[in-house]
Amino acid sequence: MPALGETILYRNSDGGVRASNIIISRSALRNWHTLAATIGHELNHYYYFNSGAYDRWEKHYGPIRATAISEYKSHYWEMQWGGSPSYEEMESSIRIYRNK
């Protein structure tokens, strides 16, 4: 399944990763539930990047594991709020985190 949303990233002058925009695909507009879950998922990423949480994870675990943590937490948020997260993506993120 193609991504329903994407958070656009850049590195700031201090080397930190920040989010600048969120893109929502037309596929996310198929119903309000999917749209709400997609917006919430991407806003979680936006928060992790702009709050500095991702930078701390990246410093401690490296970029691959930091991305896995961000994905897992964003999918978990969907699950908590009644969305339909990709369980395969959640499991993949856990495997990446544990194996790197």
Mean pLDDT of the chain: 90
Q: Does pLDDT of 26 surpass 60? A: yes
Q: What digits encode the pLDDT tens for the residues 64-100?
A: 999 999 999 999 998 888 777 677 777 888 888 888 6
Question: Domain range spanning residue 42?
Answer: 5-99
Q: What is the pTM of this model?
A: 0.87
Helix, strand, or coil (residue 5): strand
Three-state SS sequence of 15-67:
CCEEEEEEEECHHHHHCHHHHHHHHHHHHHHHHHHHHCHHHHHHHHHCHHHHH
Domain count, the chain: 1
